[in-house]
Each structure stands twice: as structure tokens, then as C-alpha cells.
Amino acid sequence: MVRRTRDEALETRNKILDTAERVFSERGVSHTSLADIAHAAGVTRGAIYWHFRNKADLFDAMMNRVVLPMEEMAQRAGDATLDDPLAYVRGCALNVLERVVRDPQCRRVFEICCHKCEYVNEMSQVRDRHIEGRNACLSHIEAGLRNAAAKGVLARGVNPRNAAVGLHALVDGLIMNWILDPGYLPLDKEAGRIVDLYLDGLRRAPRSPAAKQKRSRRTVRGEPVEPRTGYARQGRR
């Protein structure tokens, strides 16, 4: 009996969240009341208040259903046992973009968050949660990049924090613009190429065998190793 009651309560909670997604998407967050959600879900306002303190709490729970699995994946980026932390960071970024494209619920929730919500009055606490989540994401990416630097994968001179901010801005911008206008680009086909363009600039380029051999010979002969340029040296005998 207790389990049945618990299962029924969970079913009601999920029903409210599903309905909130739909109504927020149709009307926008500021034009939707808890009474509107209760009516659309076929429950009482009391049922909503049993599960959520207010609209902001309901909105936060709706976001968490989509965002928490992504945050949990990103948390492992700093794991020292990863062979290639930069490749793992890439996988995290592409996982988010792929879910936005292929998962209607994820796309709907991000659309509500990006384009149909005003962070004012009672929703100001949602803004705080948004900032908290962003900062946590940045910390995970930065940890992954510092991990990559420690393993010699990251190019010398790359600031992990700045690189993390850049990657986050790239992914965030792709999501916001693609949701606003899916004709912006075929995100399902181009996401990998775009992310790789950025990450390839962070990765330490492996020295070619020929370059290693040439440097070794010149060092043995005692010749100075000059920096490579795009121009041939003139007049050298």
C-alpha cells in the first residue's frame, strides 16, 4: 500500500512536470500560472504545492530532469585515469548538442529556458540556479583541460580557464541559435566539425618523425635550431 502511494505520487509529479513543459512552451513562463498548469494536468493546485514550493521550484525541477545527466557526465572530465581528457571533453560537448537535436524533451526545455523565460520576480531564483549550473559546468570543463595539460595533450600556453569559457560559449551559442532557427545550420551534421575546429586549436600537435630526426641531427652537429617560418631563407650557402 505504501509503495502504491509512493508510485502514484511520483506519477502525479511527472505528470505535472510534463504538463508544465508543454504549457510553458505554448504560453511562455511569465504568462503561465500554477493554476494554468493544474488545469491542464487535471490536478488541483494543492497537488502542485504538495510537490513544489512555487513556480520557480517547479521550473527548476523541470530543468533538472534534462540537465542533471549532462552535469553528471561532465563531472568526470577531471578524472586522472582518463587517457585523453580532451577527447572526453569533446564527447561531453557533443553529447549535449546531440541530445538537443535528437531528444524532443531536451530541445523543448532548452527552448523554454533560452527564449521563453524572464528571470524576474519569483523567477529570479531560477536565474541564480542557471548561473550556478553554468559555473559548475565551467569548473568541470576547466578540470578536464587541466587534466589534459598534465598529460601533455594540451598545447603549451593555453589557459585552461579561458579555454573552458570559450568552449562553453561555443556550445551555448550553437544551442541558442539553432533552437531559435533550426535552419541556422544542420547541427546534427556539423556539430562535430565545429567543436573539432575549436578543440584542435587547443591540442598539442605531435612532432613529426622527420622533424624529430632533423632536430636530433642538427643538435648532434651543434647547429642552432632556428624557428620555422613560412618563408625560405635567401642567400644561405
pLDDT at position 91, please?
97
In a domain, 99, yes or no: yes
Model confidence at 3, pLDDT cuts 50, 70, 90, reads low
C-alpha of 215 from chain center: 41
Is residue 130 within 8 A of residue 113, CB to CB? The reply is: yes
Residues 86, 198, single domain; the answer is yes
Residues 108, 162, single domain; the answer is yes
Please check the confidence at residue 107 and state whether its pLDDT lies above 90: yes
Please check the confidence at residue 233 and state whether its pLDDT lies above 70: no
Residues 98, 189, single domain; the answer is yes
195 membership: H or E segment, kind and range = helix 187-200
SS3 (DSSP) at 203? strand
What is the rounded average pLDDT of the residues 207-231?
A: 48
pLDDT at position 21, please?
97
Please check the confidence at residue 228 and state whether its pLDDT lies above 90: no
Position of cell 498548469? 37
- Could you give the CA distance from residue 209 to residue 212 in angstroms, rounded to a whole number? 5
**What digits encode the pLDDT tens for the residues 128-171?**
989 999 999 999 999 999 999 999 999 999 999 999 999 999 99
**What digits encode the pLDDT tens for the residues 33-87?**
999 999 999 999 999 999 999 999 999 999 999 998 899 999 999 999 999 999 9
Instruction: Find the range with the poorest average confidence among 113-122, 194-203, 228-237.
Output: 228-237
Residues 100, 193, single domain; the answer is yes
Contacts made by residues 110-113, CB under 8 angstroms, sequence distance 24+: 110/66, 110/175, 110/179, 111/25, 111/179, 112/21, 112/24, 112/25, 112/29, 112/62, 113/63
Model confidence at 236, pLDDT cuts 50, 70, 90, reads very low
Residues 20, 73, single domain; the answer is no
Domain with 37, as residue range(s), is 9-52
SS3 (DSSP) at 154? strand
The pLDDT mean for the chain works out to 88
Q: How many CA atoms lie within 13 A of 39 on its CB side?
A: 6
- β-pair partners for 203: 154
pLDDT at position 206, please?
72
- For the chain, count helices (H), then strands (E): 10, 0
Residues 128, 200, single domain; the answer is yes
Residues 183, 134, single domain; the answer is yes
- Could you give the CA distance from residue 120 to residue 23 in angstroms, rounded to a whole number? 19
pLDDT at position 4, please?
62
Model confidence at 237, pLDDT cuts 50, 70, 90, reads very low
Residues 30, 136, single domain; the answer is no
